Amino acid sequence: MSGIAHHLLKRGIDAGRESYRSNSQASDDKPFGNPHAVAATLGITALLWFLAMNAIHYVYGGVVATLTMIETPTATAFTVDPAQSDEVDAPLLSGDEKKSSSTEPELFYVKTKPITSKIRTTIKHLVAVAGPWSRFRGLQVAMLYHFLHHMIFQLLTALIGHRMIPQSLAAVATAVILCRLQMLWNHVVISAPSEKKWYRCFPTIEQGKKIILPTAVWAIAEQATIYVPITLFYAFNLDAYAQNPQNFGNLSEMQQKSIMLASLAVMMSGLVTAALITVPASVTLNRVQASLLSEEHDTIVPFDRTFGGKVQPEVVSGTCAVSMLDAWKTFDWAARLRLIGLYAKIFAIQISTCIFFVALAVFEVRMINGDYVLY
C-alpha cells in the first residue's frame, strides 16, 4: 500500500513539473513562480502526506486492528420468572398444571455490539478510557522496534547477502530476535491505562519462548506476500515492459491482453496471499501474545483470557499461553468479517488520502505558476 501511495504522489509531482515546463515553453513573457518555492511547497506537502499515511497505518492498521483481533464481545444475562409470565394462557391453567409447569427462572444471554465494530466507536472508546493520545498508544515501543529491526536486518543482510532468499531469511531472523519487543507493543496497546511504565512490563524470556514459532510463521507469511508477486512479475517477463513501455505498444492486441491479464494475476496474488496467509498468521500471533498478558493488567476492550475454555493449564511466570491452533479457531467468523471490513476501510482511507495529496500537489504547482487565480 505504501508503494502505491508513493507512486501516486510521484505521479502528481511529475504532472506538476510537466505543467510547469509546458507553460514555460508556451510563453516567455508570462510571470512564473520561483522554482525554489515550488520545491519547498511540494516538500512540505510530501511531508504532510508521509505523516498522514503513517498515522493512518499506525492508528487504524496497528492499534485498532490489534484490538479487533483480541476483542471478545460480552453478553448481558437476564432472567425471566415464569411465575410472573404474561402469557395469555397462564390464568387458564389449573392449580395442578401450574405446579407441574416449570418454576425455574429462564436465563437469557444477549450479546452486546463489539466496541471494534466501527473505527469511530473504537477511537471514541480509547479516548474516553485513556485520553486523546491513546490512539497512538505504544508509539514509543513501535519506533524502538522499527529502529532495531532496521539495524539488525541491515547487519544480517551484510553478512549473508542481499539476494531474495538471504533477505527473506534475514527478515524472519530479525522478527524472531525482536519477538519479545513486539509482544511488549501488543501488551501496551491492549492493556488498560496503568501507572506502570512500559519498559517495566517487558516480557520474560520464558514468555518469549512461547511466541518464537508464531512470530516465525508470521514473518514467513509476510515474506510470501512480498515475494510471491515479485516472483510472478519476473516469471511473466513483465519487467521488460516496465523498464521500456514502448515494448508494450509494439505487441499485437492479443499479446497486450495477455500482458494485462498477467499484470492482474500478479496484483491478485499479493491480495490472495495476504488474505489467506498473512492475516491469519497476524491474528494468531497477536492472540497468542495477548494470552501472555499478565493477570495484573486489565485489557482496554473485553477479552476472554480462557479463549472459550481452550487454554491449556500450562502456567509460565503466572500467565497462560494459548496454542496457535486455538488462537485462530476461537477467532470466529463474525470477528474475521469485522477485521476484513476494517482493512477495506483502511485501504479506502489511504487511497482517498493519496488522491487528495496528488490533487493538492498539482494545484499548488499551478497556483505558484499563475495558472489559477483566486479572488
Average pLDDT over residues 10-18: 54
Using DSSP's 3-state secondary structure scheme, residue 332 falls into coil
Q: Measured between alpha carbons, how far is 281 from 225 in angstroms, rounded to an integer?
A: 12
Residue 138: the pLDDT is 95
Q: Which residue in 213, 204, 211 sits closest to 288, CA to CA? A: 211
Q: Can you tell me the distance from the alpha carbon of 44 to that of 49, in angstroms, rounded to the nearest whole number? A: 9
CA distance 310 to 325: 10
pLDDT of residue 29: 46
Using the predicted structure, report yes or no on whether residue 342 has a pLDDT greater than 50.
Answer: yes
Radius of gyration of the chain (CA): 28
Distance CA 117, CA 266 (A): 32
Is the pLDDT at 320 greater than 80? The verdict is no
The closest alpha carbon to 329, from 359, 358, 309, 357, belongs to 309
Report which of residues 372 and 352 the model is more confident about: 352
Lowest mean pLDDT among 142-156, 287-301, 307-321: 307-321
Amino acid at 7: H
Asked if 302 contacts 238 with a C-beta cutoff of 8 angstroms, the reply is no
Residues 6 or more apart whose CB falls under 8 angstroms from that of 13 comprise: 42, 46, 361
What value does the mean pLDDT of the chain take? Answer: 83
